[in-house]
């Protein structure tokens, strides 16, 4: 299969207003994720504190549960951080004019889809084609 870059790329133009709309959606998404991440870090600190407090007592099972919860929370925080990075890269690419175009057909990916899936690289119809394969 020929790479998208080897094909004659359709003209990529998007109005300032549209770019701005995407930027706003991405920044909002980033802020949401950031808030979730901050919340998650607070939870981790709290669980860590509780765990240390419990370690002084005799309830081993409870300590184990809290260790597990904390590990889960750390995994969640790492996932959130990764998504924040992805959204920030998307904002950078948007600034360079390389964001929001379907890698397969070159059409603009709808703003709503980009806001929901900032890492989307295919438009809805191409995505459905990919999934059907
Ligand atoms: Zn497409």
Can you give the CATH number for the domain in which 66 is found?
1.20.120.910
Instruction: Give the pLDDT score at 57.
Output: 64
Going residue by residue through the chain (133 aa), what tens digit of pLDDT does each one get?
Answer: 445 555 555 556 788 888 899 999 999 999 999 999 999 999 999 988 887 887 666 567 777 888 888 899 999 999 999 999 999 999 999 999 889 999 999 999 998 888 888 888 999 999 999 888 7
Residue 26 lies in a domain: yes
Ligand 1 centroid from CA 97, angstroms: 17
Residue 39 lies in a domain: yes
Residue 110 lies in a domain: no
Residue 109 lies in a domain: no
Which residues make Cβ contacts (< 8 Å) with residue 114, sequence separation at least 6?
22, 25, 26, 90, 99, 100, 120
Residue 37 lies in a domain: yes
Residue 114 lies in a domain: no
Residue 32 lies in a domain: yes
Ligand 1 centroid from CA 131, angstroms: 13
Ligand 1 centroid from CA 5, angstroms: 14
Residue 10 lies in a domain: no
- For every residue of 100-127, DSSP letters joined together read SB-TTT-PBPPHHHHHH-TT--S-HHHH
Ligand 1 centroid from CA 49, angstroms: 49
Overall number of domains in the chain: 1
- For every residue of 11-34, DSSP letters joined together read P----HHHHHHHHHHHHHHHHHHH
Instruction: Give the pLDDT score at 104.
Output: 94
CA–CA separation, 128 and 130 (whole Å): 5
Is residue 128 within 8 Å of 105, Cβ to Cβ? Answer: no
Ligand 1 centroid from CA 96, angstroms: 20
Ligand 1 centroid from CA 85, angstroms: 24
Ligand 1 centroid from CA 104, angstroms: 5
Ligand 1 centroid from CA 123, angstroms: 4
Q: Tell me which residue range forms the domain holding 80.
A: 15-98
């Amino acid at each position: 299969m020929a790479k998208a870059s080897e094909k004659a790329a359709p003209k990529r133009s998007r109005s300032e207003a549209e770019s701005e709309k995407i930027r706003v959606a991405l920044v909002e998404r980033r802020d949401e994720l950031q808030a979730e991440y901050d919340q998650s870090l607070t939870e981790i600190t709290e669980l860590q504190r509780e765990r240390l407090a419990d370690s002084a007592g005799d309830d081993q099972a409870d300590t184990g549960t809290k260790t597990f919860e904390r590990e889960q929370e750390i995994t969640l925080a790492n996932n959130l951080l990764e998504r924040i990075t992805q959204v920030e890269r998307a904002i950078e690419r948007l600034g360079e004019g390389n964001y929001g175009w379907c890698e397969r057909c070159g059409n603009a990916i709808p703003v709503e889809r980009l806001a929901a899936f900032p890492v989307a690289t295919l438009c809805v119809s191409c995505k459905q084609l990919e999934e059907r394969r």
